Amino acid sequence: MKSLVKACGTGHATNIIQGLAVGYESSVWAVIIIAGSIFSSIVLFSMSINPIFAAYGVAMTGIGMLTLTGNTISMDVFGPIADNANGIGEMGYDREAMEKAEGGSYKRARQILADLDAVGNTTKAVTKGIAIGSAVIAAVSLFASFITVMATGREHGQISAEIYNNVAGYLSLSNPRIFIGCCSAGRRRCCFLR
């Protein structure tokens, strides 16, 4: 925080850049933990013959994140409640009447609501990070499932690492048909495999 105060003295641009840097620093540990859990699940399941087991390990990482859903939702709800309480306090408090009844009460009440609002914003940011992380893990798992279906023509079954890697090699976002998601209707194979 001292770096932000220092950046305020040198101008608006440095203040914005320093604020972005501090914001990016706050996400580093979450990225390291999520990447480490995905990597450890891949290492644990990579010794199997079927490469889909590694995707299963990644999916189990996502399931592990989803076990915190109750906590995440309750944290997600707290943010708007605290924010609304602060807004209601701004509109509803009568400064003169509060100060007449007890000196300094208005300032204390506003500080309490400001602190609650800050905590609400923080919990909202944390829950967004958890939601984005679990969505990324789910997307990786679905992508591996898509590769399996394209390689085997069915939703389950054995697949060798060679076939899996071969089909995964066809999936390039530089191909506009793949980017759009063009698949032939009535067939199990995508148009890019023709």
Per-residue pLDDT of the chain (194 residues; tens, 9 = 90+): 677 788 888 888 888 888 888 878 777 877 888 888 888 887 887 777 666 777 778 888 888 888 888 888 888 888 778 778 878 887 887 878 888 888 888 888 888 888 888 888 888 878 887 888 888 888 877 877 777 777 777 666 677 777 777 877 777 667 666 666 655 444 444 444 44
Helices (H) and strands (E) in the chain, counts: 9, 0
Coil vs helix vs strand at 53 = helix
Q: Please report the pLDDT score of residue 66 as a whole number.
A: 80
Q: Please report the pLDDT score of residue 193 as a whole number.
A: 47
The residues pairing with 183 across neighbouring beta strands, listed in sequence order, are 190
What are the φ and ψ backbone dihedral angles of 115, each rounded to 5 degrees?
-65, -45
Structure tokens at 44: 């644990």
CA distances from 27 to 77, 92, 119, 121, 169 (A): 21, 37, 17, 15, 31
Q: How far is CA 9 from the centre of its chain?
A: 34
Instruction: Name the nearest CA neighbour of 193 among 160, 150, 145, 152.
Output: 150
Tokens 């389950």 correspond to what residue? 156
CA distances from 92 to 35, 79, 96, 100, 120 (A): 47, 20, 12, 16, 20
Q: Please report the pLDDT score of residue 29 as a whole number.
A: 79
Rg (CA), the chain: 25
Coil vs helix vs strand at 27 = coil
Structure tokens at 39: 């990597």
Instruction: Name the nearest CA neighbour of 192 among 18, 184, 106.
Output: 184
